[in-house]
């Protein structure tokens, strides 16, 4: 990593987002380095949130509607080991995110998104794709908010998240656009033992 070269807050946010992306892949322990108190820099402790799913192996589809500011349905029930194809639609007038993670991951991501908004990468209603695509680190920092466990959608947009819930964990789906989680845009993922 070249973290010492990232001086500005904006770049720190990008670096944190990158760390988050890698964490979502299970390659390193999760932990925002943007200065929060919720950092759990557990060395080698991988997040048990699951893994990107194979679309061809999806057990079923769950439609998720996002609006201002709530999800429909309000909770999700899945079985341990299931691969779910989430078809996510933003039917509201604001930017919304569907993100699968632990409460701590969402809290960390909210800080990152607040910084992204502060620096114009996102607005209340949209994404500045030019800002998001800025390359600040030799090709490694291409930021498009395309973590496999989440999708960020402008009004009217639809996208899929294919996720495999590998083992039981305390998970939530949430929108981390500033202010939305606090206003209730989150819900529990209830997981049943698969055996």
Which tokens sit at 122? 């996102």
Give the binding-site size for Cu ion (rule: CB under 5 A): 5
Q: Which of residues 81-100 bind Cu ion (CB under 5 A)?
A: 96
Question: For residue 75, with 0-12 CB atoms within 10 Å meaning exposed, 13-18 middle and 19 or more buried, which class applies?
Answer: exposed
- Region of residue 144 (phi > 0: left; psi between -120 and 50: alpha; otherwise: beta): alpha
Cβ atoms of 83 and 51 closer than 8 Å:
no
In angstroms, the CA 157 to CA 135 distance is 25
Q: Does 151 bind Cu ion (CB under 5 A)?
A: no
Cross-strand pairs, 85: 61, 162
Q: Which residue, 69 or 83, is less far from Cu ion as judged by CB?
A: 69
Draw the binding track, 38-77, toward Cu ion (x: CB under 5 A; -: no contact): ----------------------------------------
Q: Does 180 bind Cu ion (CB under 5 A)?
A: yes
Residue in 10, 58, 151, 185 binding Cu ion, rule: CB under 5 A: 185
Draw the binding track, 157-176, toward Cu ion (x: CB under 5 A; -: no contact): ------------------x-
In whole angstroms, the minimum distance from the beta carbon of 103 to Cu ion comes to 16
Non-local CB neighbours of 3 within 8 Å, separated by 6+ positions? 15, 33
Residue in 174, 177, 186, 189 binding Cu ion, rule: CB under 5 A: 177
Q: Which residues bind Cu ion (CB under 5 A)?
A: 96, 175, 177, 180, 185
């Amino acid at each position: 990593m070249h973290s010492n070269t990232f001086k500005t807050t904006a770049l720190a946010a990008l670096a944190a987002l990158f760390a988050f992306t890698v964490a979502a892949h299970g390659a390193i322990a999760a932990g925002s380095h943007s200065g929060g108190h919720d950092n759990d820099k557990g060395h080698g402790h991988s997040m048990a949130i699951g893994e990107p799913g194979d679309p061809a192996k999806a057990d079923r589809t769950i439609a998720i509607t996002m609006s201002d500011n709530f999800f429909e349905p309000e909770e999700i029930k899945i079985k341990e080991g299931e691969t779910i194809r989430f078809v996510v639609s933003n039917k509201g007038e604001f930017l919304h995110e569907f993100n699968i993670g632990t409460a701590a991951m969402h809290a960390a991501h909210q800080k990152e998104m607040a910084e992204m908004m502060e620096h114009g990468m996102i607005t209340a209603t949209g994404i500045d794709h030019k800002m998001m695509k800025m390359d600040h680190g030799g090709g490694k920092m291409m930021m498009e908010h395309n973590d496999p466990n989440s999708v960020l959608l402008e009004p009217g947009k639809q996208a899929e998240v294919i996720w495999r819930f590998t083992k039981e964990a305390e998970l939530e789906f949430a929108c981390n656009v500033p202010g939305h989680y606090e206003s209730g845009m989150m819900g529990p993922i209830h997981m049943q033992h698969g055996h």
